[in-house]
A = this chain, B = another copy of it.
Amino acid sequence: MNIKHNKEDILRKGMELFRLNGYHNTGTNEIIKEAGISRGSFYNFFKDKDDFGIQVLDFYGVWSTDYMKQLLNDKKLNPKQRLINMFDEFVEGYKKENYKWGCLLIGMTQELGQINSAFTEACNRNFESFLNVFEPCIKEGQQDGTISKNEEARALAITVLSMYNGALVLMKSGLHHEPLTAFQGQLKLMLAV
């Protein structure tokens, strides 16, 4: 038998390429070359490029959600501090990659949203799973008095996610770190009681 490939490794490589260059600007040739597999193997794992794209989206969503859960469920800090620290880590990550990466869900939504409903649904369910991690943490902070009760937990979760997503858009458009700094500053003000 030849090398038994790990499907996750291919998905991870696709995630990287799509985040850097977008869906249409990443060919299947580039994917298989970068993943170190053969064309036949790729089409053995995935029905077609769209199927691969959807699976990459869900892989990214689960991967991100798990990471967020890990950071937001650590009860050593209060909920507000956990949120702030989590975004600090994310910002650090983007900085480390010289602001070249983007959020896959944002990119895919923009690029394929109106074209293929399977992509819209995938983006939507993964954004929802982000919100479903934020919201309980915010609610916990509202109950223990560390986070503002000016808005419902879900609305606040949506606003935080919006602000973060929007900062990533401006970051990628060439403003680099400035919108991330503004986001970090505003996040603290926004959560404050």
A→B interface (CB under 8 Å): 20-22, 24-25, 100, 102, 105-107, 109-115, 120-121, 123-124, 127, 150-151, 155-156, 158-159, 161-167, 169-170, 172-175, 178-179, 181-183, 185-186, 189-190
Contacts and interface: CB of A to CB of B under 8 A. Distances in A.
Contact of A159 (B102, B112, B175, B183): B183
Given A120-B173, A162-B163, A162-B169, A115 B185 contact: no
Copies in the complex: 2
Nearest to A163: B163
Contacts of A114: 20-22, 25, 100
B111 A107 contact: yes
A105 B106 CA distance: 13
Nearest to A158: B182
